[in-house]
Amino acid sequence: MTDTPHKGLPVHGYRPQSDDALALVQANKEAEERVLRILDKLEEWQEIDRRWLAIGRTNIEQGFMAMNRAVFKPGRATLPEDQDEA
């Protein structure tokens, strides 16, 4: 893969990303979607404990979010009052 920098999201703290970082997060998103579709199927089962299913879904979503943040490494945001200190 090339190391082409891709512009970060126009959100404070987000920074440019490499091709490798984008590929990793894309793979994570595909894996997450497969797991979420399994959870969707479980939700159709009448006897499922919906509370525990919701807890499981939340933890899985948080886990994938943490993995993606580990790759993208967003930083702290600069606030308008920080300009006064410069």
Q: Return the domain boundaries, the chain.
A: 17-26+38-72
In whole angstroms, how large is the CA radius of gyration of the chain?
18
Q: What is the pLDDT of residue 71?
A: 96
Task: State if pTM tops 0.75.
Answer: yes
How far is Cα 22 from Cα 40, in angstroms, rounded to an integer? 26
Strand partners, 6: 17
Q: What is the pLDDT of residue 84?
A: 72
Residue 1 has pLDDT above 60, yes or no: no
Average pLDDT over the chain, rounded to whole?
91
